[in-house]
Amino acid sequence: MEKVVEAIVKQVAIVMTAMILVAIVGEAWSGEGSATAGKTGKRVKIGPYPGGYPRVTKDELCVDPRPDHKLAVYLPWKNSGYIVVDIPEVIFSNIGVLFLGHKHIPTIWTEKNVELETVNWQRLENGSMKYVRRLPNRVIFGATAVPTKDGVDMELFLENGTEEKLTGLRTQICVLLKEAKEFNQLTNDNKFFAPGDPEKEPLVAVGDEQRKRWIATAWDHCVGKWGRHLCPCMHSDPQFPDCPPGKRVTVRGKILFLEGDIKEQYQRLKKDGKLLWKP
């Protein structure tokens, strides 16, 4: 009898331990399409690009897209899919195009017949993801993505290992909407572009069919806000400050999941100082 009781106690202990572990993991991560992600302190789920062609419409502007710098961000609403954030899609400079996430225009590497290696995202112990790419000319760039309860904080950096000053470091950060259900119509009519100077008013957002839920993005040092209906996608594109030899420059941005009137939400974010990531 004592052995039976002892066995039952052990089984109960195992079950209780498993339940505690599940609770801990569930608190740290929300599943894909979870109805509670971003609502009760749980963090949004992020991960590597699942693969496939990232746009609804295939065209000559996006041939052979690279998978490595694309980040999947899963929406916090039930059965709502995910977005793909290309961090970055392209980096322009005074010496030519340093990086392009697909084939479209020449880069300084395609002109030299140099094939860039694949550099994948790495997950850190705290759930964040990052990568670092070293270009053949000793320019280094990389990104970090930190999931939060209502979106993702993002940082993109560039280090100049050349002997000349790099200028005109304009980037494009593409938010691809193909797999985001109710947000992927082939139109710009469902998008909100904050009025005014992009550097001061950097937010771009896309709404669902009822315009009650919104996916938004904003970057500091923003130089352009736009969307392309054929992808569909949206952009809040930052430009790095000029970078002398041996120096490092950084831009920061956010993905935000919002509900309600987008104009009111935008003003609230500005008032509360939560529009941009300030680590």
The pLDDT assigned to 105 comes to 82
User: Tens digits of per-residue pLDDT, 61-88?
Assistant: 554 577 788 999 999 999 899 999 999 9
Query: Which residue, 208, 179, 205, is CA-closest to 192?
Result: 205
Query: Which residue, 188, 185, 187, 220, is CA-closest to 203?
Result: 220
Using alpha carbons, list the distances in angstroms from residue 191 to 74, 79, 237: 19, 21, 16
As a dihedral over the C-alpha atoms of residue 146, residue 72, residue 93, residue 275, rounded to 10 degrees, the angle is: -50
The pLDDT assigned to 196 comes to 95
E strands in 138-189:
140-148, 151-159, 171-176
The pLDDT assigned to 51 comes to 75
Q: Residues near 20 by Cβ (< 8 Å), separated by ≥ 6?
A: none
The pLDDT assigned to 200 comes to 95
Q: What residues are paired with 131 via a beta bridge?
A: 143
The pLDDT assigned to 215 comes to 98
pLDDT in tens, the chain (279 residues): 454 445 544 554 443 444 433 343 333 334 333 333 433 358 999 999 887 655 555 665 554 577 788 999 999 999 899 999 999 999 999 999 999 987 778 899 999 999 999 999 999 999 999 999 999 999 999 999 999 999 999 999 999 999 999 999 999 999 999 999 999 999 999 999 999 999 999 999 999 999 999 999 999 999 999 999 888 999 999 999 999 999 999 999 999 999 999 999 999 999 999 998 887
Q: Are 247 and 160 in contact (CB under 8 A)?
A: yes
